[in-house]
Amino acid sequence: MQNVINSVKGTALGFAGFLTPVLKESKFKETGVVTPHEFVIAGDHLVHTCPTWEWACGDDCKTKSYLPKNKQYLITRNVPCVRRCKQIENCEVQENIVESEDGNEGWVETHHYDSALSPLSEKISEISLEENLNSVNVTSLNKDNNVLHSATNENSTVKNINVDTQNDCVDDDDDDDDEEEGDAIDMDAFVESGLLEDDSVTNYPEHTKKKKLSSSSVDEILKTRTYDLHITYDKFYQTPRLWLYGYNENQGPLSVEEMYEDVSQDYAKKTVTMESHPHVPGPSMASIHPCKHADIMKKLIQMVTDGGGDLGVHMYLIIFLKFVQSVIPTIDYDYTQNINL
């Protein structure tokens, strides 16, 4: 039922926006709205400050005459979304204050109580030396410290080697053995024979072949969704409007219900609805309704003014992205500078 109501509202507002005249005089300080020209100024500042954002043209048949043709809307792609909103809502404090032993200031261990990370930590175990016995050489010495037996579990070989452990050097008899083995190979003759470039004589061990991941290993891989975010200018409300479209870990489009999983449940299907994009044809996209944007911006402008500051219109989109983060808290799109109001 709520989807039907949202659809009717969207159609009515689209028609009203068509009839609404384009705002030409700035009312940013008084009401928190912006003109199309001010939207472009704020967009240019966002692109300059955060290069992950860029201007887009959109479909030619949906070009808005009150905006430059090459600056119809803003877009950022492949924004990561690691967790669902249900995993962070109504959870306990995840930080743990660690005090320093030397009496100095301590530090904060983030995600200390994060239950989402506990399954991974349980998989961590200590390395046992017993597991590596297959690669350990077993050596037997007689009473004269001569090596009688050197072997591994994979290939057992017996060697008679005379080792002087007192002087840490090899007996002179080894030099005689080297002479009996024959002269060294002439490298020039070896190169001319062509054996140096013959790969057929090279034996590659079988264990170097690629191994397929087991089903249990695949389940332990952290699956990350990604989103494309768009910022358009809403002619009726005279404010920016945020749109989002999600993809799963295989780059397949998310369903409507899956996208709602990444929206705070206080806003899903109310403030965030599925509507047609004003510049791009295709399936409906999730959009944060802009009906409250101007009021919020007006309050922020007043806060800055009361503090003796001045909030320029070029900062609009940077502040806009920060206050809509509460609606989609798990989509990590905000890499702009901190704002002190």
CB 324 within 8 A of CB 242: yes
Q: What is the rounded distance in angstroms from the CA atom of residue 293 to the CA atom of residue 305?
A: 18
Beta bridge partners, 231, equal 74, 242
Beta bridge partners, 232, equal 241
Q: What is the rounded distance in angstroms from the CA atom of residue 49 to the CA atom of residue 129?
A: 52
Q: What is the rounded distance in angstroms from the CA atom of residue 10 to the CA atom of residue 276?
A: 9
Q: Point out the catalytic residue in the list 57, 61, 91, 291.
A: 291
Category of 90 on φ-ψ map: left (φ > 0), alpha (ψ -120 to 50) or beta: left
CB 296 within 8 A of CB 239: no
Helix (H, G, I), strand (E, B) or coil at 75: strand
| Cα-only R_g, the chain | 34
CB 57 within 8 A of CB 68: no
Q: 291 catalytic, yes or no?
A: yes
Q: Provide the residue type at 197 as one letter.
A: E
CB 247 within 8 A of CB 223: no
Beta bridge partners, 96, equal 109
Work out whether strand 239-247 and strand 285-288 pair parallel, antiparallel, or are unpaired. Answer: antiparallel
Catalytic residues: 291
